[in-house]
Amino acid sequence: MRPCVYIKASKRYGTLYIGVTSNLAARAWQHREGLIEGFSKRYGAKLLVYFEMHDTMEAAIRREKQLKEWQRDWKIRLVEESNPDWTDLYSLTMD
């Protein structure tokens, strides 16, 4: 388990949700199952389309705050640089 920042989406170019966690597999599963109340559940942001690992939780939180300030098209470009088809990356968290 490592701290990471992640982006969930409702669909390609849909609603985006940015979060931070120390257990990506568990958090991605919770989002998929609708167990986390709030924005991601309300807008159906269940697809894990981007994540990046960090050495410390402090670094991950700083990055999360930075990404949340970004313009929407910058966030979309970030996703598409590593995941151009907006594939659900959930299975990668199982390793």
What pLDDT, on the 0 to 100 scale, is given for residue 93? Answer: 80
Structural domain range at position 64: 4-94
Element (H, E) at 60: helix 57-69
pLDDT tens string 46-58: 999 999 999 999 9
Pairing of strands 47-53, 16-21: unpaired
The count of structural domains within the chain is 1
Type of residue numbered 23? N
pLDDT at 19 over 90: yes
pLDDT tens string 20-40: 999 999 999 998 888 888 888
* Rounded-to-10 torsion of CA 62, 51, 16, 79: 110
What pLDDT, on the 0 to 100 scale, is given for residue 83? Answer: 97
pLDDT tens string 66-90: 999 999 999 999 999 999 999 999 9
